[in-house]
Amino acid sequence: MISFNYENDFKLNNEPEISKWISDVIISEGCTIDEINYVFCDDDYLHKLNVEFLNHDTLTDIISFDYSVGKNIQGDIFISTERVEDNAKDFNVKFFEELYRVIVHGVLHYCGYKDKTEHDAKLMREKENHYLNQIG
């Protein structure tokens, strides 16, 4: 089950489409869905989580808590829509393109992809681009 929760004024207007897309990504990666909770929030909300749980005193666009067991995907993904908006401007892309990239980025981590090394980050970006082409 995929759920979308909101801690700010942002709201997805196409939840069923996004949910199906996320499900298709997970299935394509050979995994199954248990439960994923997306929480859309502002910078302050996500910063507090970053400090409290990760001991990072920085702004970020996404924090994910992975509770997956093997290929059974489960977790909570927090996304700052403020950060996504700023990043979209910085990268000269549309807001929703950047938002969908962040949404799929979290799921790809749950599916086993990493992004700490240059090689892993390149593979992650290729996967993101592949799945972004499928959302239309």
Per-domain boundaries in the chain: 2-135
Question: What is the pLDDT confidence band of residue 136, given thresholds at 50, 70 and 90?
Answer: low
Structure tokens at 72: 């059974």
- Is 111 in contact with 69 (CB distance < 8 Å)? no
> Is residue 27 scored above 90 in pLDDT?
yes
Question: Considering only 14-18, 38-42, 50-54, which range has the smallest mean pLDDT?
Answer: 50-54
Model-wide pTM > 0.85: yes
47 annotated binding-site participant? no
130 annotated binding-site participant? no
The whole-number average pLDDT for the span 43-51 is 93
> For the domain with range 2-135, which CATH number is right: 3.90.1170.40, 3.40.390.30, 3.40.1550.10, 3.90.700.10?
3.40.390.30
Structure tokens at 11: 């709201």
Could you write out the DSSP letters of every residue in 43-112?
HHHHHHHHHHHH---S--SEEEEE--BTTEEEEEEEEEHHHHHHHHHHHT--HHHHHHHHHHHHHHHHTT
115 annotated binding-site participant? yes
